[in-house]
Each structure stands twice: as C-alpha cells, then as structure tokens.
Chain A
Amino acid sequence: MGSIAVHNLTYRYPDAEEPALVDVDVSLPAGRWLLVQGPTGSGKSTLLRCLTGACPQFYGGTMRGRISIAGKDVAKLEPLERVRRIGFVGQNPDAEAVYHRVDREVAFALENVGVPPEDMSWRVAEVLEMVGMSDYVHAEIRQLSGGQRQRVALAAALVHQPEVLVLDEPTAQLDPVAAAEWFQLLRRLNQEFGLTIVMSEHRIDPAYAEVDHVWYLERGRLRFAGDATAAAAWLREHRPASAPTLARLLLDDARPLLTVRAVRDALRHRLQEGAEPSTGTSREVCPVAPSVQTMVSLRQATVTYPGASLPALDECSFSVPRGQLTVLMGPNGSGKSTALRVLAGLQPLVRGHIRGGAKIRRRRDTPGEPGELRVGYVPQNPVLYFSQRTVRDEVALAATLRGLSADATSAAVDEVLRRLSLTELVDRHPRELSGGEQLRVAVAAVMVRHPDLLLLDEPTRGLDVTAKAELGNWLKQDGRTVVMATHDLDFAAEFADHAVFFHAGHAVLEGPPVQIFRRALTFAPTISRAFRPFHLDVHCLADAMKVGMAR
C-alpha cells in the first residue's frame, strides 16, 4: 500500500537535448513522508510527473527504467487504476481548477472514475471536513484566499482516497501562517491516515521538521536519499547553501537539528540557563522610524477596489528610505501588493496622498503626467508578462516601446544584460528559463529604464536558495532603493534594511527588520524563533555567525 520504487529511471522530454532525469534508482516505504529537494531545474517536478503518469503519457518523450507504486508499474497501470492510487496537488490551484464551485471541483475526480452520484455527496462532504473547508462547500473558488484554494485542491486530490499524495511546491503562494497550517494538515494525513506523501518544496525549513525522507536531485541525478537528519548532515557537508537553515548552526556537528525546539534546547544547554537575552535593547514598541532621507512616503492612503466591502489599504502610512531595501510583510490579503501598486502609480487613492511617488495612472493607454520618480515594477509571477521570443527582445521591449533608437536600445540592453549576468541567455526563450533566470530577465526589462525606485512583488517565490542569495546581493548593490512585498522572512532578515508590517490594510509596524523580528512570533524567521530566549539580535545565519553559532 503506497510504497514507491524507482528503478533506473531516465526520462527525456520531447525535443530536449538532455534528459531531465538520469538513472534515478531509489525507493520509499509505504506511509512515509518524502521531500524531493534540489535546485531549480534539477528534475523535481519531472520526477513527480513520472509518478503521476503525466510523463510520458501526457508530455510525451522517452522513458527508460520504471517507477512503481505498491509494486505496480505506473506506466502500465490502467488510467483509472492509476488515478485511484495517486492524488496530485500542483503549485498553481487557480490554473488547475476545472469548475468554479468548491463541491463540483472536489467531485471532479469522482466523476472521472465513475463513482455513482449517490456516493459522491458524502465523499465530498467528508473530505471537505477533513481539510477544514466544509463551511465553503458552495463557495466560488475565485472568492477564496490562496490558502483556502490550496485546501480545495488538496480535497480534490484526496476525495477518491488515493494511496499516494503528490504535491508540487504546495506552499509557494502561502504566507507563513497558512504554510504552517498546511504542514499541520499534511502531518495529520500522514500520521492518522497512513497516506504516503511525496512533496517538492522550496520552503525547506518547515518541511525538514516534518518529513521522514529526503531525495536530493541535481541536474536530473539523484545525489542523496535518506532520512531527513542524514540528508541535512549530507547537505551541510556537501551543499551547504541548500541545507536547512537550522542544520547549519554549529550546535551539534554529528546530528543536525531540524526543529526550532531542538535548537532552542541545544542552545539552552550551551548557554547559561535563565540568562537574560544578550542585547540591551528592550522589547518596547518601536516607533515608526523617522527616515533621514525618505524617497517616497504614503500618508493616510486609502484604496478600495470596486465591489469590495473593505478597503485594501485603510489610512495606511509608511516611508521608503532612499538607497535601502524595504520589505513589506504581513499575511495574505493584508495590502502589501496594493501598496506596491500605489507606489507604481497603478492604483489611485480614495483618500490620502503620496509624497514623491509616481503619478497615478489615469486611464488605460493614456500616459500620465510627468512623475517625480521613474518607477520599475516587477509583478508577481513575471513569466506571465513575457511576450517575446528571446531574452534580448524581452529586455529591449521597454526601450522599443519608449521609442528609443536602435543604437540606444542596443547599448542600453547590452549594459543591463551584462549587469544582470544574462549575456549567455540572450537567445533563449524567456519562458523556458529557470525561475531565478526568469526573475532576472523581468528585472532587466525594468532596469532598462534606469528606475529610481524598484518595486518587486513576491520575487523570491519559487526560487532556490542560490537564486535568492544572488537576488539579495544584486539588490543591495549600488545603493538602489527597492521595495519588495514578501513572505520570505529569512530573506528579509538577511537582506532588508527597513521593514513594514501590514495587517488589514494598515501599516501597523515600521522600522528596521531587527526590531520587528524581535517582537513577532509567527512572522519571524526560523532562526529568530530559535534564538529568541538567548539572543534578541540573531535573525539570520549571518547574525548566528557573528555570535559564533554558524559557519
């Protein structure tokens, strides 16, 4: 029931030069929770597709070797038998939903496997109760939050009671609270119902605290397979950048610690029991930091979207310091993206005003009046905005649309491509690049205009550790003024100079990230939570290194 065996699996997509998977040979006992880890483009998603049967039956291509569930070759299973054994949740529930209503969407797999209509209702009711969505049985999916949509997708994958649940980066669109709830739900499914779970995930810290096994892939090859602790030890030794953050702390060289509690206990042994936090700074409420040089600020900004009962921004005030990286944090729907749109000049204010911002976009296709700032805006999931066939054309598009001459365009594009290390990719199709490369292309397309203010909406989503580090280092160069909305607290702790915490359309806290992370419980990086009783100022690995706790 639910064991997985991969035998010398090699898979090549149609027209691909290199195979996506090469000689993968590994197995997983039934009822275990597996994390498939690896850098972007390492073959994680392909392995999951082979498991669901989408490769090669749906994608085409050639496959050697075999992958089996409970001893049965997936490629040879009857389609309906395969569906009964496997449930799948992708990373984009919006694109994968077939129906618009929750109960119909959940029942879709039951319809396909021919379950009698009289059996469907109780199955749908049961699975919605299990994922905590029974109050939304008649709701429209597009009215749900990201976390709720992901739960509906999970219910749709579980409704036919599969043996194996396959998840491809399921928390990519969730805030930390929703992601934590998601992991709790998966833990319950795994422990109480004995479901075998196979998951790829970039948010590896919470994943390592839960999973039993880890398979680490690199360029299509399996580099490591073992239990989570052994995997963390191996990664710490051989791929330190990809190791879980907690495992990189120098608390126990032999056995990496994977949970906040374990790290805290180890710290307690190491440091004097009951000692006061090692910083003299008190935990008083930090006032909104008066920025010495403010580039742009929002004052009492209120935005209400048409048809919405509540404002997206409600008398929101915050400042963006010049030459610094500002992060906007907070739960999903708290107003971060709306604030970015206001700064970009895309969203008019109902009340309040912007000081020093871009002029508001007045009408589609009508240029606004001259603004005080040139603003570059990279929205969420920039791949959706790519329209050209090569990276060079995509980057050149902004210059072309502005009416620059061919020579000026070429010079501007060459400079930006060089600065963003994209020169080797100029002839590639932008939609075929990895997540980190696509983000760089989107940033390059914006940088052609030499913006004074760079706005990024969830730029680290779907990026591996290396790509995140590259992005952070690049953003910190040349004294750029950057504002980014993010759920990635570890990234914020490492690179941000200024942070604003949003809740229900308000900027409720503003100041240096250190001050916010000292006070936050859930919205604090993993390391902050572990070190809180002992060091109030340790929020990332760099901080841990300063106090001698990391390499």
Chain B
Amino acid sequence: MMRGKARKTLHPFALLVGFVALFGAVCALRTLGGIAVDGLCAVGLVWRMVRSRRSLGFLLRLAVPLVLIYTLVGCWFVRPGEHIWWQGPALPLLGSPAVSVESIARALIQSIRLWSLLLLFSAFSEAATEDVISAWFGRRYARVGLTVAMVIRLIPTLLEERQRLAEWVWLQRGGDEGTAMSRVRRMRAQATVYQALLMTALERGWQMAESMYVRGYGHGRRTVFRIVRWRRWDTAIVFGAGVLLACAVGRLLMVSAERTAWAEAGLAITLAVYCVWLGRCL
C-alpha cells in the first residue's frame, strides 16, 4: 500500500539544509581520492532517488563524455605544474596554454566535481516536489509557492502530451508509408505539434482555474495544510549538515600538507556517511 512513503517524511527545510551542506562539502574537496568518493556518493544518492536502472544508466553514460571533454579542454586552462608535456602558442586573452600531468589531474578533479554537482542537483530536484517547494515559500508567499508548484506539475504533463502529439502527427503525415520529408514539411509537422500543445495547455489552464474558483481559491485569507511536521530526524539531519559544513570549512582553512590530507580524508568520510544517512531518509 501507498501509506507512509518514507521519502515524503523529511521536512522541506531539513531537506534544503541537507543538500546545501552536500553542495558545500563537494566544493571543498580538492584531491582525486576525495572527489572520487564524492562521485560515488552522488551516484548512490541518485540511485536511491530514481530507483531506475534506465535513468541511472543514462546518467552514467552521460558522465563519460562529460568528464572526458571537460578534462581535455580544462587541462589547457588550469595552472600547469612542473612536468609540462606540451606548450601551446600564445593566445590573445588566454595566454599560453600548457598541458601537464598536474593540469590533467586538476581538470579531472574539476570535471568529476562538476559531474557530482550535477548528480546531486538531479537528486535534489527529484526530492524537491511541488509540495516541498510550496512549503519553502511559507505562508507569507503561499500563493507564489502554489503557482510555482503548479508550473512544475504541468511540465511532465506537457512533455507527455507533446510525445502523444508527435506520435499523432507522425501517423497523420503517413509515417508508416516511408514518405521522404522535406525540411518545410518537417517544420510544419513540428509547428502542428506545438500549436496543439499550446491550445491544450490553455484549455487545461482554464479548467484548472475553474476548478480552483469553484473550490474557493482567491477569496479571503487562506490557511495552509501542514504536510510534514518537524521531527527528531529533521533535527538530526540539520545537525549532521552543520558537522559536514564545519568539516568543509576546516578543510578549506588547512594549510599544512599533512593536516590537509587528514582533513580531506575526514571530509570525504563524513560526506559519505552523511550521504548514506540522507539517502535513507529520502
């Protein structure tokens, strides 16, 4: 049965604080080992959220070209170390790009960090449902929150309808007859899809507005249905976020090389533990 789905029980503000701490920790990591741990944590969190091999496979397939291209391009523009492999000509505004072992390593770290941030953002957007977003706006801006929530809710509906319309137009233009399509006809077909989509979206908007009007929206002072209460684990999540951010700040403040390694390891371990914990709450 559907009752009590665990991922809905985390308070919206605890969720926000938790992800802010994760983003902060990822940005503070500096070594390849630390950032690799971070990447694995982000993959695990996304897996926990989407629960779909297809979606995860898509994200992993996306990672390879992203990391590769970012590393190849980025290594030209980060500060080269001592072992320079190749020195390019001087370019206006960009100076003289150089590729070295250190620059490749730094670019690799940056690319994995970027990918991790994208994954965390993906997990975050999965967790930030319409109800969570409207809760963030609070009672004072409840109408803004409701509007944002409705827009977010409309997007998947529009995408589904766009797909159905594209199929309809594909059949209408004789897709199964193997007719060659000129560019103009292709554009016409696309325009047809978006024309119908727009008209349908307007009709849906009208129907929803009528439904809201009939149910009393827009008259008098509204109250707000409390979707989730603040519970003990929300406090724990916020406390954990504080610890994680403290580790991140500590890592950034470390100067000594020996201490930096320990701080990096401590931050990576804290990040991993926090990620697992947060994932269990979602």
On whether the two chains bind one another, the answer is yes
Residues of A within 8 A of B (CB): 52-54, 57-58, 78-80, 82-83, 86, 88, 90, 92, 94-101, 103-104, 107-117, 120-121, 124, 134-139, 142-143, 156-157, 306-307, 344-346, 358-359, 361, 364-365, 367-371, 373-377, 379, 384-388, 397-398, 400-403, 431, 445-446, 449
Binary CB contact string for chain B from 16 to 54 against chain A (1 if under 8 A, 0 otherwise): 000000000000000000000000000000000000101
Judging by beta carbons under 8 Å apart, are B170 and A365 in contact?
yes
- On chain A, the residues within 8 Å of B216 by CB distance are 79-80, 82-83, 109, 112-113
Say yes or no for B137: interface residue by CB 8 A criterion. Answer: no
Binary CB contact string for chain B from 121 to 158 against chain A (1 if under 8 A, 0 otherwise): 00000000111000000000000001001100100110
CA distance A369 to B226 in the complex (A): 55
User: Could you show 19 A-B contacts with beta carbons less than 8 Å apart?
Assistant: A80-B216, A97-B211, A100-B129, A101-B131, A111-B224, A114-B222, A117-B225, A138-B3, A307-B54, A365-B189, A367-B178, A367-B179, A369-B178, A371-B178, A384-B165, A387-B193, A397-B172, A398-B174, A402-B174
15 further A-B contacts with Cβ under 8 Å, apart from A92-B207, A113-B216, A370-B177, are A53-B214, A83-B216, A86-B214, A103-B227, A104-B131, A111-B223, A117-B225, A135-B2, A361-B175, A368-B176, A373-B176, A375-B171, A401-B174, A402-B177, A445-B172
Say yes or no for B231: interface residue by CB 8 A criterion. Answer: no
Binary CB contact string for chain B from 89 to 122 against chain A (1 if under 8 A, 0 otherwise): 0000000000000000000000000000000000
- On chain A, the residues within 8 Å of B219 by CB distance are 78-80, 83, 112
Given contacts A53-B214, A385-B168, A400-B188, contact A99 B222 (CB under 8 A): no
Say yes or no for B217: interface residue by CB 8 A criterion. Answer: yes
Given contacts A95-B207, A358-B176, contact A100 B130 (CB under 8 A): yes
Among A57, A95, A120, A306, the residue within 8 A (CB) of B54 is: A306
Judging by beta carbons under 8 Å apart, are A377 and B175 in contact?
no
Q: How many residues of B contact A (CB 8 A)?
A: 71
Say yes or no for B66: interface residue by CB 8 A criterion. Answer: no
Among A52, A110, A367, the residue within 8 A (CB) of B225 is: A110
Given contacts A88-B214, A98-B208, contact A387 B196 (CB under 8 A): yes
Among B203, B211, B220, the residue within 8 A (CB) of A98 is: B211
7 tightest Cβ-Cβ pairs between the two chains A and B: A401-B173, A83-B216, A112-B216, A96-B211, A387-B196, A107-B225, A79-B219
Judging by beta carbons under 8 Å apart, are A156 and B215 in contact?
yes
Judging by beta carbons under 8 Å apart, are A83 and B2 in contact?
no
Closest CB in chain A relative to B197 CB, distance in Å? 8
Judging by beta carbons under 8 Å apart, are A98 and B175 in contact?
no
Main secondary structure of the interface of B (DSSP, over half): helix
- On chain B, the residues within 8 Å of A79 by CB distance are 216, 218-220
Given contacts A114-B223, A386-B199, A403-B182, contact A99 B188 (CB under 8 A): no
- On chain A, the residues within 8 Å of B226 by CB distance are 117, 120-121
CA distance A346 to B180 in the complex (A): 19
Query: Nearest residue in A to B211 (C-beta to C-beta)?
Result: A96
Judging by beta carbons under 8 Å apart, are B223 and A374 in contact?
no
Closest CB in chain A relative to B109 CB, distance in Å? 34
- On chain B, the residues within 8 Å of A361 by CB distance are 167, 170, 175-176
